């Protein structure tokens, strides 16, 4: 277990949330790193490299599985530094997994995650965090389960990060986003090598097998799996 995770689990979520919102400079520190699940040399560098490939492609950005919106904010920082005016839709229930879907994966032996996983966040918290850090014009949190929210987003995309851990959600998000992904756009998946969420690889493999002829390239980096649309 990392030091960051140990600290997070030792402090009640409400206390940690209020402390960070009171001292927002802490988000920028190396230890907190905006609370992103991806970290430097462990996903973030790969993500930003892929994001850099699509800055001139038309369309916005969508993240499925935003939790505390740390990765969304890191991407927003990158866009602002590059003077690129795109919106990031940060999609999550902001209350944890769909209980039915999680239990199905637990019964299948694909994960041991508990029903409390990713429940330390909330929609109110991420809204306040985004505002405190000055990214309310770039990061738009979308609250709800993916089947309810994704069909309502009226946008084309140049880039998607799918980091929702569970097989059915991964497939649903990828299939829903794919028709709205512009040519030369990129979908990035986390969880391909995850031991905690073994359904991730199954979901990604299913999507790749269904659409491989529509890719200009695809493959596994050190952590992230990516596909580029022709």
Of 6-10, 46-50, 163-167, 192-196, the one with minimum mean pLDDT is 6-10
pLDDT tops 80 at residue 3: no
Distance from C-alpha of 230 to C-alpha of 227, rounded to nearest angstrom: 10
Average pLDDT over residues 44-66: 97
Per-residue pLDDT at 5 = 60
Kindly calculate the radius of gyration of the chain based on its CA atoms and give it in whole angstroms: 17
pLDDT (tens digit per residue) in 148-195: 999 999 999 999 999 999 999 999 999 999 999 999 999 999 999 999
The answer to whether 108 touches 81, Cβ cutoff 8 Å, is no
pLDDT at 7 over 90: no
* Confidence band of 4 (pLDDT split at 50, 70, 90): low
Average pLDDT, the chain: 94
pLDDT for 75: 98
Dihedral sign from CA coordinates of 197, 198, 202, 205: positive
Domain ranges of the chain: 38-229
pLDDT of residue 203: 97
Q: What is the pLDDT of residue 11?
A: 79
Q: Which residue has the higher pLDDT, 12 or 7?
A: 12
The CATH fold of domain 38-229:
Rossmann fold (3.40.50)
The proportion of the chain whose per-residue pLDDT surpasses 70, expressed as a percent, equals 95
Q: Which of 48-52, 59-63, 74-78, 117-121 has the lowest mean pLDDT?
A: 117-121
User: For residue 40, is pLDDT > 80?
Assistant: no
Rounded to an integer, the average pLDDT of 204-224 is 97
Q: pLDDT band for 12, please (50, 70, 90 cuts).
A: confident
DSSP symbols for 45-104: HHHHHHHHTTTTSSSEEEEE--TTSHHHHHHHHHHHHTT----EEEEE-SS-S-HHHHHH
What integer pLDDT is reported at residue 37 of this predicted model?
Answer: 86
């Amino acid at each position: 277990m990392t030091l960051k995770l140990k600290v997070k689990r030792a402090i009640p979520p409400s206390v940690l949330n209020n402390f960070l919102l009171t001292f927002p400079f802490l988000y920028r520190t190396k230890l907190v790193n905006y609370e992103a699940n991806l970290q430097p040399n462990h996903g973030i560098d790969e993500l930003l490299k892929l994001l850099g490939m699509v800055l001139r492609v038309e369309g916005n950005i969508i993240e499925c599985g935003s939790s505390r919106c740390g990765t969304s904010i890191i991407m927003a920082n990158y866009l602002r530094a590059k003077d690129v005016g795109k919106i990031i839709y940060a999609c999550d229930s902001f209350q944890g997994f769909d209980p039915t879907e999680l239990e199905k994966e637990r019964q299948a032996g694909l994960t041991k995650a508990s029903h409390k996983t990713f429940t330390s966040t909330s929609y109110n918290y991420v809204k306040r965090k985004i505002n405190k850090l000055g990214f309310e014009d770039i990061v738009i949190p979308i609250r709800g389960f993916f089947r309810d929210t994704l069909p309502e987003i009226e946008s084309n995309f140049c880039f998607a990060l799918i980091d929702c851990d569970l097989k059915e959600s991964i497939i649903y998000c990828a299939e829903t986003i794919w028709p709205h992904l512009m040519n030369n756009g990129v979908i990035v998946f986390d969880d391909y090598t995850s031991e905690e969420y073994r359904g991730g690889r199954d979901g990604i493999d299913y999507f790749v097998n269904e659409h491989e002829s529509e890719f200009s390239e695809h493959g596994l980096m050190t952590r992230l799996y990516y596909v580029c649309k022709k």
